[in-house]
Amino acid sequence: MPNRLFIKLLLGFWLCSSLIIALVGLLPLLQQNHDRAPLPPHLERVLASIAQRIQQDPSLLTTDFIRRLEKHRDIEGKPLRIYLANSQGQVINTHRVSRGVRSFMLMADEEKQPISHQFRDELVFGPYQFNLGAETYSLYGRLPDNHPRPWFFFFAENKLLTLSLAIFLSGLLCGLLAWHLGKALNSLKKSANALAQGDLTHRVDEATTKRNDEIGQLASAFNSMADSIETMVNNQQRLMGDISHELRTPLTRLQLSLALARKKGQQTTETERIGYEAEQLEKLISELLELSRVKLSTNETKVYLGLAESLSQVLDDAEFEAEQQGKRITIDIDEDIELAHFPKSLSRAIENLLRNAIRYAASDIHLQANVEANQVRITIQDDGPGIDTAELDAIFKPFYRPDSARQRESGGWGLGLAITEAAITAHKGKIKAENRVPTGLEVNISLPI
């Protein structure tokens, strides 16, 4: 089966170029057909009367009469000029023959019959042929005449303007075709970028999927693929959450058994170790459940609230923690910033970043939030050792713990920043980490308003 998109492109560009060429090529033909016509009877009678007079008195050809033919004669209130040509096509009654008359004589010779032709400001007609002895003469007439002409003949007389207009129209038509195709491809590109950035709910618009060509089929296939990916990822997150939830039951029983053993005085080094590991397992399961909850955005609805109000408790806790460690935290949040967000998820994300900054900072932590180009920009900086440049993008992956100065002594599981990244993605925002100069780490968050 022929490629429909190929046919659309072929027909579009072919018809566009053909239409422009046809319009430009037809203009001279239309002008010629409009300006050229058979010799009108009343003009033919004028030429015939002059020819008859010469035939009746051939001596007129040798008198001033022949020269006076070129002089003005009145016909219907318009001055008329007459030109007499011999059988060789030479005008014998004057040496002042206009360019239009000479062009007309060639036209009439090609037509093989008497005609009239409308030039820009004059009407030329003829020839009327008559014999005098063995010689054949031809009479031509010229009248000043400004005959109304169709507006599009203007382009036939202005070749440069017509060429420029043809180039413009062909560019316009080709541009419309390119826009028709590019709009759908741009929609596909935006959907692919959104999917790559973690927005699993984004789909190609309905106008693109309803196209009856390969682009429409591709858009439908892309949406089907996105549906499958969203289902698989959500199922994976639900499975992780379900497994973590189910692990809590035997873990609770284990902790209960340890508590009973301690109560009965059966506390040993081994039971203490088991209790410690059970607590660590409990924290890990809590982190996994939090990551699953944030990624699925369950049990929480967006509210339109001030950013400072949502983060107030987190910021108070961070100031207290920094003070206990002898460090200074500076907070600069515009009180007018308001946006729709998940308060718990966003608070947890900022809390994780602040705790990391406080843990690894030498002395100073700085948090700033402001509005830039319809986006809330949150920046968290510290003066700690930073992270290897090659690992900056990977620190937001679950269970990833870089072998760097910031993580070497950490007791975490590499889920804190993963939870932060999931929370920012749930807000359709972006998060990026980069090292500061000369030392330290800076984390930038952008949230749409």
Candidate ranges 232-246, 356-370, 381-395; pick with highest mean pLDDT: 356-370
CATH code of the domain made up of 303-448 = 3.30.565.10
Residue 384 neighbours by CB distance under 10 Å = 22
What's the pLDDT tens digit per position in 259-276?
A: 887 777 777 777 778 877
Q: What is the pLDDT of residue 24?
A: 64
366, pLDDT greater than 90: yes
Task: Give whole-number Cα distances, 382 to 297, 379, 386, 415, 435, in Å.
Answer: 30, 10, 9, 20, 10
Known active-site residue 180: no
Q: What is the pLDDT of residue 365?
A: 92
Q: Which of 431, 396, 430 is nearest to 414 (CA)?
A: 396
* Alpha-carbon gap, residue 211 to 163, rounded angstroms: 35
Grade residue 405 by pLDDT with cuts at 50, 70 and 90. very low
Q: Would you say the pTM of this structure is higher than 0.85?
A: no
The residue from 245, 341, 366, 427 that is catalytic is: 245
Grade residue 1 by pLDDT with cuts at 50, 70 and 90. very low
Is CATH 3.20.20.10 correct for 1-25+170-298? Answer: no
- The superfamily in CATH containing domain 39-148 is Two-component sensor protein CpxA, periplasmic domain (3.30.450.210)
Cβ density class 309-327: b for 16+ within 10 Å, e for less: ebbeebbeebbeebeeeeb
Report the SS3 class of residue 341: strand
The more confident residue out of 415 and 319 is: 319
Domain boundaries, the chain: 1-25+170-298, 39-148, 303-448
Q: Which of 294, 308, 306 is nearest to 344 (CA)?
A: 294
Q: What is the pLDDT of residue 344?
A: 85
The more confident residue out of 131 and 95 is: 131
Q: What is the pLDDT of residue 368?
A: 92
> Mean pLDDT across the stretch 73-91?
80
* Alpha-carbon gap, residue 376 to 338, rounded angstroms: 9
299, pLDDT greater than 70: no
367, pLDDT greater than 50: yes
| Ordered strands of the 122-132 beta sheet | 36-38, 115-118, 122-132, 135-144, 78-85, 73-75
* Alpha-carbon gap, residue 93 to 215, rounded angstroms: 75
Residues sharing a CB contact under 8 Å with residue 125, sequence separation 6 or more, in sequence order: 39, 40, 43, 47, 114, 115, 116, 117, 140, 141, 142, 143
What's the pLDDT tens digit per position in 18-54?
A: 776 766 666 665 555 556 778 888 888 888 888 888 8
* Alpha-carbon gap, residue 343 to 349, rounded angstroms: 10
Residue 141 near residue 124 (C-beta atoms within 8 A): yes
CA 202 to chain centre: 19
